[in-house]
């Protein structure tokens, strides 16, 4: 991409906003140097990187790389043998610590962020170096005592030597000689040596080395001879400590030098990640729908088959920005789009928006355009926009435009985007229009996508009559004299010059003279354009009203369907609850019948037993009748035979099982029905009943019954036979309904009567597959374990 055209489209201003959102110095440098790519795979990788960065920020909104430092030069110096200072080593450690954290964070989301994970993989594990620097240098930037065994011992010797020296000096200060000779009872330091302030006239009382004299000469600062040896020892130990610190720093610098390449890669990976996060923040600031979330970016096209912008906004405009939509390309039926209309109407903004958004897309930046847009990867984007006349170079407006156009013609290919503003302006209108016509036809033949603006009316006719060209215009409200900034594809624009002049108060006689000077054809065209604009506005209003009515109708339909579905669900639930209650009553009746039969056997067919048996049987028949009635009620309503359709069930006369309709009634009134594995054509007269399956009412029409609740153990210990046996039967029934495989009956040992009765009941019960005594640790003969039949 040529820098001149990038600046024309204000790409540098977008990069300035991006740079301001970076938090790392090297990231800001990369943002300043960011250029659009012409390689589709690289553009796709960049957009995926931006999409993943937006995902990362949504997971970690406060993520920033402000603590990172560009330590590549420090690592390079260390690789050459230079000794780094503690503060420099801490900068390297802080940057590598951040790199390690970023590597772990991105790596933990590898499935969601494969592109960023590949970038984070460039960061080698810096843990060994971080541990060594952390062990040897504290957060104040000082080498620790643990940096080496020698250093720790040396520092202890330094402290002991210092303490001996100071104690000796304090004894001198507090001695009789000190009280007489010293100006003040204190110990001070000159040139790194401890000295005492001695009166000049008492100097002979305290022999020593003079290191300084006061300004008045009344005080001399003397290092007593008796402490010189101790002071020398202290100083020697300090020098040994410094040499050992130097050895530690040299060793650490050597470790940094060995990892200089890995450090450089880590810093560069952090910088690239910083730019990616800045792109994500820019997308949030501009409310950009693109790129899409995920690896697929269908809005990016490898070839310029079409350029489509949906509700696109210029990223540098502030306030209430009116979005534009435009499209062109071979797939759209035209490659040259000619925009006409009055000045200040938004033609130039439309050009810049199209060019700048394409540049942003190819640079991997978010794009402020709605989903449905399609941006190809161009090999060049060229723009001649604005007035570049130059007095120094003796260039007029027309000359500057022509110079740009000549350069564009040398560079543009069939894979380029060309943007031309005020085509044919700045010279004689007739010659300018002829030149503009020839340029448009040449660009059309070359095949590059071209968007141009002009005021020449002749070009409107050219765009209308030439295949591959299309007119467009910017709207202008003649009542308010204000542009609406809406772009209309397919309609040429009006100049509105006379109308604006009339609204602004130009005298009528002048306006009338101007109208007479216009050709009748021109006036007729302008009138037709005005009528067309008004007709489009009326059509748009009607379309909006129809859309609103359709939306309300769909909302009402959805609400009715929702209510019907809710009613059907409630009906089904009510039927299912009733069925469940009847089944429970039927189960209780069966239990009572079984109990009555047992009672009859025990009473040797006594009169009371026979009455109980007959009573239970009558109850069983009554409940069975209710169950059959409920089943009839739950059955879907019968269909009129004329409404039968494929998938419905039909009952044929004399056949007990239903069949499935495969084809509706034909002209002869016959259905195609499947009965088991047989297919047959059956007259409607043979159909006794037809109904629609419940599944046709929707997925929520059938509600499964809730599972029965049962425990896996029942205790009847201490009960009489009449109390215990019905409970055992009721529990077996509940266990069977709940799907339990085993139950435990706790009856106790006692005399064995209850145990024998329970096991006698189990031996003939239809729901019992087998039974056995429990294991000794589970209760032995006092518990019976039952395997329930399935």
- State the Cα–Cα distance between residues 76 and 73, nearest whole angstrom: 5
First to last CA, the chain: 77
Count the neighbouring beta carbons within 10 Å of the beta carbon of residue 509: 8
Residue 707, pLDDT score: 43
Three-class SS of 354-394 = HHHHHHHHHCCCCECCCECEEEECCCEEEEECCCCCECCCC
Residue 664, pLDDT score: 75
Question: 474 pLDDT exceeds 90?
Answer: no
- State the Cα–Cα distance between residues 781 and 771, nearest whole angstrom: 12
Reported as a single tens digit per residue, the pLDDT across 312-344 is: 999 999 888 889 999 999 999 999 999 987 777
pLDDT-derived band of residue 593, with 50, 70 and 90 as boundaries? low
Q: Which residue has the tokens 């290919």?
A: 413
CA distances from 179 to 173, 186, 441 (A): 7, 11, 109
Residue 661, pLDDT score: 85
Question: 272 pLDDT exceeds 90?
Answer: yes
Kind of pairing between the strands at 307-312 and 324-328: antiparallel
pLDDT-derived band of residue 428, with 50, 70 and 90 as boundaries? confident
pLDDT-derived band of residue 370, with 50, 70 and 90 as boundaries? very high
> How far, in whole angstroms, is CA 448 from its chain's centroid?
36
> In sequence order, which ranges of 259-378 are alpha helices (DSSP H)?
260-286, 347-362
Among 158-162, 561-565, 761-765, the range with the most confident prediction by mean pLDDT is: 158-162
Residue pair 497/520 in contact by the 8 Å Cβ criterion: no
| Number of Cα atoms under 13 Å in the Cβ half of residue 686 | 15
Residue pair 653/689 in contact by the 8 Å Cβ criterion: no
Reported as a single tens digit per residue, the pLDDT across 197-239 is: 999 999 889 999 999 999 888 999 999 999 999 999 999 999 9
pLDDT-derived band of residue 393, with 50, 70 and 90 as boundaries? very low
More confident residue, 602 or 51: 51
Question: 268 pLDDT exceeds 50?
Answer: yes
Q: Which of 641, 642, 636 is nearest to 692 (CA)?
A: 636
Residue 559, pLDDT score: 83
Residue 700, pLDDT score: 40
Q: Which of 437, 363, 457, 520 is nearest to 12 (CA)?
A: 363
Q: Which of 356-360, 507-511, 640-644 has the lowest mean pLDDT?
A: 640-644
CA distances from 443 to 307, 332, 358, 679 (A): 16, 17, 19, 67
What average pLDDT does the segment 435-453 reach?
95
- Average pLDDT value over all residues in the chain: 84
> In sequence order, which ranges of 505-519 are alpha helices (DSSP H)?
508-517
Reported as a single tens digit per residue, the pLDDT across 682-699 is: 887 778 778 776 554 444
Q: Which of 120-129, 356-365, 490-499 has the lowest mean pLDDT?
A: 490-499
What average pLDDT does the segment 514-519 reach?
74
- State the Cα–Cα distance between residues 650 and 672, nearest whole angstrom: 11
Q: Which of 37-41, 53-57, 588-592, 638-642 has the lowest mean pLDDT?
A: 638-642
Reported as a single tens digit per residue, the pLDDT across 235-262 is: 999 999 999 999 999 999 999 999 999 9
Residue 244, pLDDT score: 94
- State the Cα–Cα distance between residues 520 and 274, nearest whole angstrom: 63
Dihedral sign from CA coordinates of 33, 34, 39, 45: positive
Beta bridge partners of 174: none
pLDDT-derived band of residue 611, with 50, 70 and 90 as boundaries? low
Residues of the chain with pLDDT > 90, as a percent, come to 49
Question: 642 pLDDT exceeds 50?
Answer: yes
More confident residue, 79 or 711: 79
More confident residue, 632 or 266: 266
Phi-psi group of 672: left, alpha or beta (phi > 0 → left; psi -120 to 50 → alpha; rest → beta): beta
Reported as a single tens digit per residue, the pLDDT across 162-185 is: 999 999 999 999 999 988 999 899
Could you tell me the two tokens for 753?
Answer: 């009567």
């Amino acid at each position: 991409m040529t820098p001149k055209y990038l600046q024309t489209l204000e790409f540098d201003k977008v990069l300035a906003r991006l740079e301001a959102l970076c938090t790392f110095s090297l990231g800001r440098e990369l943002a300043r140097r960011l250029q659009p790519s012409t390689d589709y795979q690289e553009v796709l990788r960049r957009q995926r990187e931006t999409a993943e960065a937006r995902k990362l920020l949504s997971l970690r909104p406060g993520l920033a790389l402000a603590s990172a430092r560009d330590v590549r030069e420090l690592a390079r110096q260390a690789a050459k043998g230079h000794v780094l200072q503690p503060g420099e080593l801490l900068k390297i450690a802080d940057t590598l610590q951040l790199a390690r954290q970023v590597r772990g964070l991105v790596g933990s989301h590898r499935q969601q962020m494969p592109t960023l994970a590949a970038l984070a993989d460039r960061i080698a594990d810096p843990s060994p170096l971080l541990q060594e620097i952390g062990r040897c240098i504290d957060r104040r930037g000082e080498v620790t005592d643990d940096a080496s065994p020698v250093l720790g011992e040396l520092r202890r010797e330094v402290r002991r030597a210092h303490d001996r020296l100071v104690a000796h000096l304090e004894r001198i200060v507090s001695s009789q000689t000190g009280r007489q000779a010293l100006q003040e009872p204190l110990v001070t330091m000159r040139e790194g040596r401890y000295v005492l302030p001695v009166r000049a006239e008492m100097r002979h009382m305290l022999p020593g080395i003079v290191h300084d004299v006061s300004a008045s000469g009344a005080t001399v600062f003397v290092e007593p001879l008796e402490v010189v040896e101790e002071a020398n020892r202290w100083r020697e130990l300090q020098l040994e400590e410094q040499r050992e610190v130097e050895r530690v720093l040299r060793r650490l610098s050597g470790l940094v030098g060995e990892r200089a390449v890995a450090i450089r890669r880590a810093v560069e990976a952090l910088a690239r990640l910083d730019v990616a996060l800045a792109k994500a923040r820019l997308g949030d600031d501009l409310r950009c729908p693109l790129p899409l979330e995920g690896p697929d970016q269908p809005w990016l096209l490898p070839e310029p088959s079409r350029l489509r912008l949906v509700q696109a906004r210029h990223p540098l405009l502030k306030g209430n920005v009116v979005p534009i939509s435009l499209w062109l390309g071979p797939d759209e039926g035209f490659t040259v789009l000619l925009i006409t209309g009055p000045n200040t109407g938004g033609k130039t903004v439309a050009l810049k928006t199209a060019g700048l958004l394409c540049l942003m897309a190819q640079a991997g930046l978010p794009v402020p355009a709605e989903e449905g847009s399609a941006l190809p990867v161009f090999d060049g984007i060229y723009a001649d926009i604005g007035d570049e006349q130059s007095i120094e170079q003796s260039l007029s407006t027309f000359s500057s435009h022509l110079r740009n156009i000549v350069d564009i013609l040398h560079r543009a290919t069939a894979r380029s985007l060309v943007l031309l503003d005020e085509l044919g302006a700045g010279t004689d209108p007739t010659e300018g229009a002829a030149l503009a016509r020839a340029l448009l036809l040449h660009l059309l033949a070359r095949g590059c996508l071209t968007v141009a603006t002009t005021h020449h009316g002749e070009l409107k006719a050219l765009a209308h009559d030439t295949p591959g060209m299309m007119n467009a215009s910017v709207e202008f409200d003649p009542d308010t004299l204000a542009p609406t900034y809406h772009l209309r594809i397919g309609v040429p624009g009006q100049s509105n010059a006379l109308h604006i002049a009339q609204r602004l108060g130009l005298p009528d006689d002048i306006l009338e003279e101007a109208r007479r000077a216009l050709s009748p054809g021109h006036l007729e065209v302008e009138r037709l354009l005005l009528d067309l604009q008004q007709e489009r506005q009326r059509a748009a209003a009607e379309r909006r009203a129809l859309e609103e009515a359709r939306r309300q109708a769909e909302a009402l339909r959805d609400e009715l369907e929702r209510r019907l579905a809710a009613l059907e669900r409630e009906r089904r639930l009510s039927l299912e609850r009733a069925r469940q209650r009847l089944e429970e009553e039927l189960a209780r009746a069966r239990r009572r019948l079984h109990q009555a039969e047992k009672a009859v056997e025990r009473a040797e067919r006594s009169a009371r037993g026979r009455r109980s048996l007959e009573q239970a049987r009558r109850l069983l028949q009554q409940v069975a009748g209710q169950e059959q009635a409920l089943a009839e009620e739950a059955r879907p309503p019968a269909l009129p035979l004329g409404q039968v359709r494929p998938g419905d069930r039909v009952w044929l006369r004399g056949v007990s099982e239903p069949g499935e309709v495969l084809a509706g009634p034909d002209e002869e009134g016959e259905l195609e029905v499947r009965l088991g594995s047989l297919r047959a054509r059956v007259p409607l007269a043979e159909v006794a009943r037809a109904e629609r399956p419940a599944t046709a009412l929707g997925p929520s029409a059938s509600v499964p019954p809730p599972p029965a609740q049962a425990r896996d153990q029942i205790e009847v210990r201490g009960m009489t036979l009449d109390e215990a046996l019905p409970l055992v039967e009721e529990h077996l029934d509940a266990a069977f309904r709940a799907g339990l495989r085993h139950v435990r009956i706790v009856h106790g040992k006692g005399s064995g009567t209850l145990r024998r009765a329970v096991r006698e009941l189990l031996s003939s019960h239809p729901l019992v597959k087998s039974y056995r005594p429990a294991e000794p640790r589970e209760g032995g003969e006092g518990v019976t374990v039952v395997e329930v039949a399935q």
